[in-house]
């Protein structure tokens, strides 16, 4: 969970730096990120794709909590959860 929490901190910092970029550079980064995600293992891709989808939505001016975004699989990447974290849902416990 510590790694997950630190990764979520890094994600928020990345979002901050993206907010400083011109829109065309953000769009370029998002294209790169989608390609990079496609190169990852299928199990990770399937779990993390909603996070990238959420970032794309908000980069395009939508809010995750409002329609039609709420009907998609988009989600925030938070480093905490009241139950087993959704990003770890398919990971085997040791």
The residues, ordered by sequence, that sit 6+ positions from 18 with a Cβ below 8 Å of its Cβ are: 26, 29, 59
DSSP string, 1-60: -HHHHHHHHHHHHHHHHHHTS-HHHHHHHHHHHHHHHHTS-HHHHHHHHHHHHHHHHHHT
Structure confidence at residue 94 as a pLDDT band (50, 70, 90): very low
Model confidence over 27-75: pLDDT tens digits?
999 999 999 999 999 988 998 999 999 999 999 888 887 766 555 688 8
Predicted TM-score (pTM) of the model is 0.78
27 sits in which H/E element: helix 23-38
């Amino acid at each position: 969970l510590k790694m997950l929490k630190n990764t979520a901190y890094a994600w928020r910092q990345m979002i901050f730096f993206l907010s400083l970029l011109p829109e065309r550079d953000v769009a370029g980064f998002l294209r790169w990120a989608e390609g990079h995600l496609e190169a990852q293992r299928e199990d990770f891709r399937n779990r993390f794709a909603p996070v990238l989808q959420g970032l794309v939505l908000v980069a395009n001016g939508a809010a995750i909590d409002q329609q039609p975004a709420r009907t998609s699989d988009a989600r925030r990447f938070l480093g905490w959860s009241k139950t087993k974290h959704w990003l770890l849902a398919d990971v085997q416990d040791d």
